Every structure is written in C-alpha cells, then in structure tokens.
Structure 1
Amino acid sequence: MSDPAAVIRRLVAVFSADVEGYSRLMGADEVGTLKGLTERRAILDRLIGEYRGRIANTAGDSVLAEFGSAVEAVQCAVDAQTALAEANAGLATDRRINFRIGVHIGDVMVRAGDLFGDGVNIAARLQSIANPGAVCISEATYDQVRKVLPMTFADLGVQQVKNIQEPVRVYQVGAPSESREAAPARVAEIESPPPLPDKPSIAVLPFQNMSGDPQQEYFADGVVEDITTALSRFKSLFVIARNSSFSYKGKSPDIRQVGRDLGVRYVLEGSVRRAGSRLRITGQLIDTSTGAHLWADRFDGALEDVFELQDKVTEKVVTALAPRLEQAEIDRSKHKAAGNLSAYDCYLRSLPHLQYPSKQSLEEAMPLLRHAVELDPEFAAAYGLIAQCYAHRRGWGHVPDADEKAEVAHLARIVLRTGEDDAAALGSTSWAVAYILRDLSHAQSLVDRALAMNPNLAHAWRTSGWINLWSGNPAVAVEHLTRAMRHDPLHGCHDSSMRNGMAHALFFLDKYDEAMAWAESVLRENPNGHATLRIFAASAGVAKMTGTACEMGARLRAIDPEFRVSRLASYLGPYQKPEFVEKYAQGLRLAGLPE
C-alpha cells in the first residue's frame, strides 16, 4: 500500500489558472458568481481532460493542473480562454468571469496528488502577470512550443517574480507577430488577443488572385474591400477592418488562430478570377471555433456586373450569420461604390498607397483619385480620400495655403452632396475638415454621421478620437481610439496616429506613465517620430522624470534643430482649450527645450 505522505518528483508542464477580481464579483453577486464559476470550471475541467491533463490542486476560484506535454498544456490554455470568452459573451463587463492562465515547464514535488515546489510557484506568478483572458508562458515552455503550435508570441521581457530568486523571461501567447521584440509589461494589455464580441463577428480575409496576372492583384483586393464595407453597414454585425484582415495576405493561416488573433467567430475567404470580360468570385464562410465550413459558393458573371456579384456574396454571408436580419437591410448593402468601372479601377489602385502614407505615396495616390472623379463626378469615396490626402500633407509639416484650404472646403461640399449615405467618404472628409479647416463642430457632425451609418468603421473612430481630443474631451478620445483599435486589432495597434492619439489623451488625463508607454511603443518602430518625441518629452517633464524628459528633448532637437516651445501651436492640431496647449508647453520647458 502506497504511503500518502510520500513525496515524488517529476518534470511536468504546470498549468495555473485563477479568476480575476473574484472577491469583487462575489461582493456584487454571490449566487450569480458561484453559478457562473461552476459553469466555467466545467469548461476548464473538460478541456484539461481532453488534452490529457490532470487536475491537482483547486481552491474555488483557481485551478492547478499538470500535463505530460508542454504543447498540450499551452493548446489547452488557449482553447480554454476562447471557450471562456464565449461563455462571457452577452454579459455586462462587470459581470464577466475572466481567468488568467500561466504555463511553465518545471520540476515539481507530488504528494497525495497535490503539486508543490518552484515549478508551481513560477506558473502561478506567470498567471498573475497575464491580462484577464490571456495566457503567459515561461521561456522554457516557449522553447518547447514555438515551432510546433501555429500561434504568435509576444516577448514581454525578463520579469522578476515574487519569491523566485532568478528572473523569468515571459511570453504572451496569441499576440500579433509584429510585437515579438521585447515589450514592457505596462503595454502588454494593448497586445492581448481580443475577446469575442457579444454579436456575430467576422473578418474577410484577402481573396486569392486566380487570374495568373499579378497586375490584377489590386482588383481581388478591391472585391474584398467592398464586401467588407457592405458587411460593415449592418449594425448587428461586428466587422474587422481591412488593414487587420490584410495582415494575412500571401499567407495560409490556421483559421482557428485567425479567430483568436482577431477576436471573431467567422471568417470569409475566397478567390477572384478575372479573364477578359468574365469574372468568377468564390467564397466560403468558416466558423473559427470549430473550423467547420458553413457554406461555400461560386458566382459567375460579366465584368460590368462586379458590384452585383459582390452583393450576392455579401447577402449569402449575412443570411448565414443573421437569418433574422430584415431584407431591407440586405438591400441597403447593395450600394454601388462607383457607377464607372474605370473610375473604380483608379480608386482601387490608390488604396495601397494610402495604407502607410508617405510624401511619395501621396504623389502616386492623388493623380489616381483625381482621374477617378474626372471619370465619375459622383464618386464620393474618391473625393473623401483626396481631402484626406491634404490632411496627410499637413501632418508632415506642409502648411496649406488659402487655395488648398478652399479646395478642401470645396471637396467637403461635394462629399455632402454625392455621399450623404457613404460612411467611408464622410469619415475621410471629417479628418480634413478638422485638421485643415480647423472646423471641429463640422468635422464632428460628419464623423458622427459616418459612425451612425457604419459603426464598424475603424478610421472614423480614430478620427472621432482626435476630434474629441482637440475639443477638450480626452476621456472620450480614449474611448473612441480604443474602439478604433478593436475594429482593427492587428493594424490598429501599430497605427502611429492611433497610438499617438492615445498618448496625447492620457497626458491630458494626467496619466503620464500610460502616455509614455504608448509613445514608447511608437518609437520602437519610428525612433524619429516628431509628435511622439514631443508628447514623450512633455509627459516625462510633467511627471518630474528629468533624465528621461531631457533625453527625449535632445532627440527632438536632433531631428528638428529649429524647434522652439513658442512655436508649439504651429505643430499641433486645433486645440480648443488654451490650458491644454500651455500644459503641453510647460512639459516641454521642463524637458529642457528652448523657449
């Protein structure tokens, strides 16, 4: 008969899970929390069993398990977070039961079925580092799984964890691949995989160009752009922005991982074949939680019927996702973006130049857009992008003259006439009206109309964030910029305009550490960002971090030797509160910048 007090040692993958804010949840609703916890424990217990794990220690709101395989432990953890997010869907934020999970490979002691030792302690500390709904693993675990599992990993750097003598390098599972370089723990939250929304959610992945002609790549991309836009008009759907979806272009990703990365339940993928005057579009809708194909279909027609074919694909997707949607809403999705295909071609060719705009890319995009409106004078979306190009030029230091301001005002009037029901056109124009014309009230009304028509439009949420910042509402700015990044989770978290907006808004909310964290995330990719260095220097200055402030100030002077605090207003947007500009200026003075 075995001795129950006997201790044995073995090397295992330790899985540690714990409920975030358990005491708060119990204090708010003891009965409901216990019921919800029981349901979620059933999910965890089932998945741990399916991946051949063994539950060892439990303590109400926490679970400790061992696995013979690091791969199975991490896969179990990721699948558990996906299933738990689904269980939370539809609940109010303060009623959700979120788990943190940590996984570590280590030597443990086993006594009477329970686990003890440093291996257990490290897994528990990794769990405490993880954000709610996320999974953190140790470097030892990462080495075992990184080449096996089709996941991405964000390096959160070396962490000193409580009661463990040696520091531990920590990785977060499922973060965007672009974030693999070391990132401070304070910005880990913006790189966490997003939870599933509480309504049907979808991403349209880049369609494969089957034409055999690389020059037709833009046409396949344009079909996806229009299907995404059409789906976005349905307020009952949560649609991921084109920029994030196109992060998978040229790749063959695991659809379940796409669902986890983007926080969506469904993915639409397909192909486009353009041969002469004929066009074929194929599409298939996939449930990311199971990998099951919900439907697949093929649509053939003449090239001039491209919009009708796109509408058919869109209608099929909507019917599969939300069968109770009114037919009237399906009809509304059948809006033709342009009546002239040649104009449409020009519009499509301009889009890649505007995804990461530069002085050179604007010089290539604007002639295409101008030719589009020459061919189709009613093309509202093209007018909106022309106006946006003027705003981009100002962002790089070009001060518009009277003629250019008059041109932007003229473009805004055309968009209001031709695109009163075109959310993308209104959203693009609102940015130029705010930044070039400095008319915040008009700009806000334009972007509000855009978001009322299309609440999934990421760039409109971003614009609304900046407009609210300039209007003196930094808390609303944070909320709207957060919405923008949620609708564009892969590109948005690497969009310098969104992140700079967050840094500025948090600075005016006196959250200097958070402001610097956002600025730091931009500088890792663009060390010479003028606006980023300014807000970093000002935040550090007001926070009395003199060394950091002076370092940022020196970097700013290195790229712009003529910079003076007295010229700050010429660099900024149309701030409506003089006290905001003065606070900004004072921070720069504290950073050692000359008056």
Structure 2
Amino acid sequence: MRGLRFAFGPFVLDPGAGTLLRNGDTVAVSHRGLQLLAALVERPGEILGKAELMDAAWPGMAVEEGNLTVQISQLRKLLGITADGDDWIVTVPRVGYRFIGVIEQLSGAMPKSLPLPDKPSIAVLPFVNIGDDPAQESFADGLTEDLITDLSRTRGLFVIARNSAFAYKGKAMNARAIAEELGVRYLLEGSARRIAGRVRINAQLVDAVNGDHLWAERFDRSLDDIFAVQDEVTGKIVEALLGRLRAPPPRNRPKSLEAYDLCVRARKLMDDSPQTAQEAHLMLTRAIALDPDYAEAYRWLAMNHWMGWVHSGGPTEPARGIALDLARRAVALDPNDAGCRWILAYLLSYERSFAEADAEFAKAIELDPNEADTFAALSDIAVLAGRVGEGLEHIAKAFRLNPFPPGWYYLVRGQAQYAAGEYAAAVETLRRDETYRTSSRRFLAASLAQLGRLDEARVEAELFLVGNPRFTIGHWAMTEPFRDAAMLEHFIDGYRKAGFPE
C-alpha cells in the first residue's frame, strides 16, 4: 500500500509505487512477488502462515499452494543472501515463512494521495463473512462484487473497481488511509451471515474525510430476497450521495443461488493457472446447466475460453468461435450488462468486425462509466487501430478506477507506451507484470530492442518462446486486430530486432 518504504541490506521496497530497488537500480519482480515481499517485511521476524501469504498475494482467490512456493523461490533468487550468508526469507516447515532481515522504515516525502474526482467517489470494501461456515465466504464476496457493479452503473458516481477493493480483504486499516490510497471520499463497509435459508446483512456508509456515518442499516431477510436487498442497499447509497434516486436499467439476476455461488467462485479461479481455469470452466458450465438464462455465467465462460486455458496452446480458432457465441448469448440475455458488452466488443475486434465492436464498446461505457476493464480492453484495441493517444487515455482511466489492477493492465499500458515510442517507460511498466506467465515478455523484448539493449531483448524473447514455442511474427501479425499498417510495422520492427522468428 501507499505511504511506507522499507530498507533492508542493499534494497528499498516501496509497496505503494510497486518498486524494489537494489543499490538504487530497479529489480524486475512480479506484482504478486512484490505483494508477498511487502507482507513479509512489514512484520519482520514473525512467522506468516501460508494461507495468510496467499491471501496477501491473491486476495479473494482460491489458489494452489504451489503458486506460493514458486513465488517465494523467485523472491529468494532475486534477493540473494544476507551479509551473514543466510536467505532473507526462511521456511518454517509445514507452517509458512519468516523474513529475517533488519528493516528500516524510511522517512521523507510519501507518495501523494490520489486526487478526489469531481463527483461523489466510493469504494465498497469486502463484506466480512461472520458466519461459522468458511464455505460462505464466496457469498460475502459475491455480495460485495454485486454492490460494486450496481453502484458502478449509476451515472454521477465514481466507483473503485473490484480488484482494488479486494486488495483490502482481511487487512486492518483505518478508513481514512484506505480512502487516501484509492482516491475516494466514501467507503461502504459491511458484514454478511447466511444460515438456514436466511441472510443478515449489516452495512454502513462512511465519509472517510471527516469520519461521519452517513447511513447504516441491518437487513434480516429470507435468502430468496438477497437480490432485492442488494437493490435496496444500492438505492439508499445513491440517494445519500446524490440526493435522489437514479435507477439504472435492471440487471439480469440468477434464478438459482447455487448457480450464483458457482459463478462467484469461478471468477476467482480463471486467471491463475491452467488447472484452476479448468476448474472454473466446470463450475461455469454447471452454473449454466442450473440456470440457462444466467447471463453472467455465459460472460465469464466466454472469457475463460478466450484466455486459452481450456483449449491448450492459446486462443485457437475453435476457442475463439465458442467464446464469441457465448458472449453473444450473454448480451442477448442481459443487454444492460456492461461487462457482457465489452467482452463481446473485444472478441468482435479479433474477428475484425470493427464497426460492431466499436458500437459495443460505446454501449458498454454508456451503461457503466465506471467499468475499468472496459477502458483497459478498449485501450488495447485503440492502440492497434493507430489511435495511440486515445489508447493512453483509456488505460490511464482504467488505472484510476482500478489502482491495484490485475496484471494484464500493465501489459496493455506497456503496449500503448511502446506504440507511442516511450520505450523506457514501457520497460518499467512491463516489468511490473508477471512476465513469467503472460504475453508481456514479447512487448518487453521489443521495447528493449528499440532502446538498443539487444542482449537483454534476446534473453526476454528466448524466455517468451519457452512458453510459446509456436510463436512467429507472421502468425501473430495475421491474428492481431490491427487497423493501422504503420502501427503493425512498428511492432514487427521491434520483434525482428529482438530476434523473434519470422
């Protein structure tokens, strides 16, 4: 989080800026690696359990323990050994890990808080599951996500995206500090308990600037009324912040709570590994079988196919066709869902149905001006169309709405910076992403090559090809949705200099 820097040995860690320096030079470390290191150095000498660390690096997601082991191993390689010849991070068998270095908290100017928008701004913090059953955690998470979506669709509000809100899950921080980090004035906090066919929800709206509680209420209802409760909470918050109700178009709600739970759980699994994404695929398929009219399940299943996890080797032609059909089905079931719209728009761009794609992107923004993923996806497509300035503006807006975003935002920003000729900035951005697992390495290699750092570029190209052995410049050029010949040639030039196969 913002506002703290930690020095140990030759290193300075700035979690807020997302940087690790060794003797003043930037160390390339993954986003999740930074989150793990921050969790450890904030409590030097303490044993942090594996579950706690996984929640720090993968908030709100169910991941395999092996992912933690891999990230810790990579951190150890990056940090080397202490002056005493020991590892900075020590394994406590069957329990977790401990950071053994001496930490100095640095004084001096702290990063500036994000400026408040010119409209009422709010973040919905993850609702706390106060029931005895840990399995109900997904219910509390789903409630949080739905409230974010509902508020996000209200014009006149500025709403922080889910990914950034869930960065605070399980963390004890005061309201003012959170609001300053996110650049918002208001926070919605709450808890949920689901038991024996009933649900109890406590919610309160806080003005983080002066500490006032603007609204608070407890709901004790039948579980069948859960979506009505969500609508009621949303309406009361909008009324409190805007002074009057401004109801957006109605959403498609699931008819099966089991399908709803499956969809919430699947969303946490999709982008972590091929194994967990396969599990997500099964959950989403089951959700659709339980509720064939549940638009959101089709939306996420479309994205899961597109990501190439279910069909190994990347987004093959069959996977693309299946994904597009699912996305069209999602929009048909819920034409008022901006998430369904932007996913369809993105897939249509890859089919080169550009006019239809542009219309879907515009409709998505009209329906939800706070949907950060829409702007991130639109940035990608705008850059490939040669509209680089527009692409940079879109990804900047996405980051403002989602200050702690998923890794693919860094890929999109780095691509836009490369397209603008800002190669050094692109290198810095792309090294923030988890390049070991994503497509970022090809843009990183091209950026390094354009800077004349050919040895580094070729190393990155070789590492990319290890995970993508069938990659060629020609095939890539045919499959990407370029609309601008000069922009295509600009990327090809960087790839050639980096040594990618033709």
Using the size of structure 2 for normalisation, the TM-score is 0.75
**Would the alpha carbon gap of residues 537 and 569 (structure 1) be closer, same or farther in structure 2, given more than 3 Å must change?**
same
Q: Given the alignment of the two structures, is residue 346 of structure 1 paired with residue 255 of structure 2, yes or no?
A: no
Aligned to 1:461: 375
**Would the alpha carbon gap of residues 538 and 421 (structure 1) be closer, same or farther in structure 2, given more than 3 Å must change?**
same
- The one-letter code sitting in structure 2 at the alignment partner of 1:578 is A
Aligned to 1:483: 397
- The one-letter code sitting in structure 1 at the alignment partner of 2:418 is F
8 Å contact kept, 1:444–1:467: no
Q: Which has the larger radius of gyration?
A: 1
- The one-letter code sitting in structure 1 at the alignment partner of 2:164 is S
Percent identity, aligned pairs only, is: 33
Q: Given the alignment of the two structures, is residue 218 of structure 1 paired with residue 138 of structure 2, yes or no?
A: yes
Counterpart pick for 1:588 among 495, 498, 501: 495
Mapped partners of 1:277, 1:529: distance in 2 = 42
- The one-letter code sitting in structure 1 at the alignment partner of 2:454 is T
Aligned to 1:512: 423
Q: Given the alignment of the two structures, is residue 207 of structure 1 paired with residue 135 of structure 2, yes or no?
A: no
Q: Over residues 408-443 of structure 1, what are the superposed CA-to-partner deviations in whole Å (9 max), with x where a residue is unaligned?
A: 3432332332211111222233333334x3433322
| SS of aligned partner of 1:196 | coil
Aligned to 2:296: 381
8 Å contact kept, 1:508–1:580: yes
Aligned to 1:528: 436
Aligned to 2:202: 282
Counterpart pick for 2:152 among 232, 239, 258: 232
Mapped partners of 1:434, 1:390: distance in 2 = 16
Mapped partners of 2:439, 2:16: distance in 1 = 30
8 Å contact kept, 1:440–1:467: no
| Displacement after TM superposition at 1:532 (Å) | 1.9
Structure-to-structure mapping, 1:233-382, within 5 angstroms:
233-323=153-243, 325=244, 327=245, 329-330=246-247, 332=248, 335=251, 337-354=253-270, 356-382=271-297
| Displacement after TM superposition at 1:560 (Å) | 4.7
Mapped partners of 2:329, 2:465: distance in 1 = 41
Q: Over residues 230-263 of structure 1, what are the superposed CA-to-partner deviations in whole Å (9 max), with x where a residue is unaligned?
A: 1111110000111111111122221111001111
| Displacement after TM superposition at 1:139 (Å) | 6.5
| Displacement after TM superposition at 1:287 (Å) | 1.2
Mapped partners of 1:153, 1:563: distance in 2 = 33
| Displacement after TM superposition at 1:271 (Å) | 0.6
**Would the alpha carbon gap of residues 333 and 159 (structure 1) be closer, same or farther in structure 2, given more than 3 Å must change?**
farther
Q: Over residues 47-71 of structure 1, what are the superposed CA-to-partner deviations in whole Å (9 max), with x where a residue is unaligned?
A: xxxxxxxxxxxxxxxxxxxxxxxxx
- The one-letter code sitting in structure 2 at the alignment partner of 1:317 is I
8 Å contact kept, 1:267–1:288: yes
Return 5+ residue gaps in structure 1 as ranges. Answer: 1-133, 141-145, 161-166, 168-175, 184-190
Return 5+ residue gaps in structure 2 as ranges. Answer: 9-13, 26-33, 42-74, 79-110
Q: Over residues 497-538 of structure 1, what are the superposed CA-to-partner deviations in whole Å (9 max), with x where a residue is unaligned?
A: 11111111121211111112212222xxx3424532211221
**Would the alpha carbon gap of residues 273 and 314 (structure 1) be closer, same or farther in structure 2, given more than 3 Å must change?**
same
Mapped partners of 2:212, 2:236: distance in 1 = 16
8 Å contact kept, 2:342–2:360: yes
8 Å contact kept, 2:126–2:141: yes
8 Å contact kept, 1:388–1:429: no
Where relative contact order (Cα < 8 A, 6+ residues apart) is larger, the structure is 2
**Would the alpha carbon gap of residues 336 and 415 (structure 1) be closer, same or farther in structure 2, given more than 3 Å must change?**
closer
| Displacement after TM superposition at 1:307 (Å) | 0.8
Structure-to-structure mapping, 1:123-138, within 5 angstroms:
none
**Would the alpha carbon gap of residues 594 and 319 (structure 1) be closer, same or farther in structure 2, given more than 3 Å must change?**
closer
Mapped partners of 2:466, 2:258: distance in 1 = 46
| Displacement after TM superposition at 1:561 (Å) | 5.4
Mapped partners of 1:154, 1:407: distance in 2 = 37
Q: Given the alignment of the two structures, is residue 391 of structure 1 paired with residue 311 of structure 2, yes or no?
A: no
8 Å contact kept, 1:390–1:432: no
8 Å contact kept, 2:191–2:202: yes
Counterpart pick for 2:447 among 533, 539, 542: 539
Q: Given the alignment of the two structures, is residue 418 of structure 1 paired with residue 333 of structure 2, yes or no?
A: yes
Mapped partners of 1:138, 1:273: distance in 2 = 38
| SS of aligned partner of 2:344 | helix
- The one-letter code sitting in structure 2 at the alignment partner of 1:400 is T
- The one-letter code sitting in structure 2 at the alignment partner of 1:222 is G
| Displacement after TM superposition at 1:396 (Å) | 7.0
Greater Cα offset, 456-465 or 336-345: 336-345
Mapped partners of 2:300, 2:480: distance in 1 = 20
Q: Over residues 532-572 of structure 1, what are the superposed CA-to-partner deviations in whole Å (9 max), with x where a residue is unaligned?
A: 221122122223233433333343355555654444436x6
Aligned to 2:349: 434
**Would the alpha carbon gap of residues 567 and 508 (structure 1) be closer, same or farther in structure 2, given more than 3 Å must change?**
same
Mapped partners of 2:326, 2:499: distance in 1 = 42
Mapped partners of 1:418, 1:510: distance in 2 = 42
| SS of aligned partner of 1:393 | coil
Q: Over residues 291-317 of structure 1, what are the superposed CA-to-partner deviations in whole Å (9 max), with x where a residue is unaligned?
A: 232222101111100011111211221
Aligned to 1:553: 461
**Would the alpha carbon gap of residues 544 and 317 (structure 1) be closer, same or farther in structure 2, given more than 3 Å must change?**
same
- The one-letter code sitting in structure 2 at the alignment partner of 1:349 is R
- The one-letter code sitting in structure 2 at the alignment partner of 1:452 is E
**Would the alpha carbon gap of residues 434 and 251 (structure 1) be closer, same or farther in structure 2, given more than 3 Å must change?**
same
8 Å contact kept, 1:272–1:281: yes
- The number of aligned residues is 420
- The one-letter code sitting in structure 1 at the alignment partner of 2:425 is E
| SS of aligned partner of 1:279 | strand
| Displacement after TM superposition at 1:219 (Å) | 0.6
Using the size of structure 1 for normalisation, the TM-score is 0.64
Mapped partners of 1:474, 1:268: distance in 2 = 36
**Would the alpha carbon gap of residues 587 and 393 (structure 1) be closer, same or farther in structure 2, given more than 3 Å must change?**
same
Mapped partners of 1:562, 1:224: distance in 2 = 41
| SS of aligned partner of 1:300 | strand
Mapped partners of 1:497, 1:391: distance in 2 = 14
Q: Over residues 352-384 of structure 1, what are the superposed CA-to-partner deviations in whole Å (9 max), with x where a residue is unaligned?
A: 113x34322221112222222233232222211
Mapped partners of 1:247, 1:512: distance in 2 = 30
